[in-house]
Amino acid sequence: MESNKTSSSDVVSGKLSTGPMGLGDPSDRTLRKVEIEVLIPKLVRERCKTEPDKCALVKADFDKCCLDSGGISMVYKCREENRLFQECMNKWFNDQTFIDECREQYLAKRAQFRTTGEKQRPKRKNKKTDEIDSGNAS
């Protein structure tokens, strides 16, 4: 009769349990399905929304319109801003050079994590801190 013990190699692929921290080989450049279909598009979306040379200004116009119109009427009042924002996002989602750049950025972050075992926290803006900093600069 066999024991019910399972080794870690039965649970996690050997490919994902190698490397200096047991988190995978940092130099491995293969991508899993979830990375291709979810994580890299998420990075593309985040960069488009935050980088001024991408869609950040268009998004700011759309956000302002939504805040100014208030309530459900924003659906009708902000159609043009929404259309421009969607066109901008589609442009970058169809730009293979930009997608490749995001893929390389993702692979670099993943390699860093696999090497050190430390997650990189996203930089968040603190509105109170930003207001205090800008007030002190005057």
**pLDDT classification of 136: cutoffs 50, 70, 90:** very low
Alpha carbon distance 51, 112 (integer Å): 23
Q: Is the pLDDT of residue 132 over 60?
A: no
pLDDT tens, residue by residue, 43-102: 999 999 999 999 999 999 999 999 998 788 888 999 999 999 999 999 999 999 999 999
Residue among 88, 40, 41, 33 at smallest CA distance from 60: 88
Q: Is the pLDDT of residue 29 over 50?
A: yes
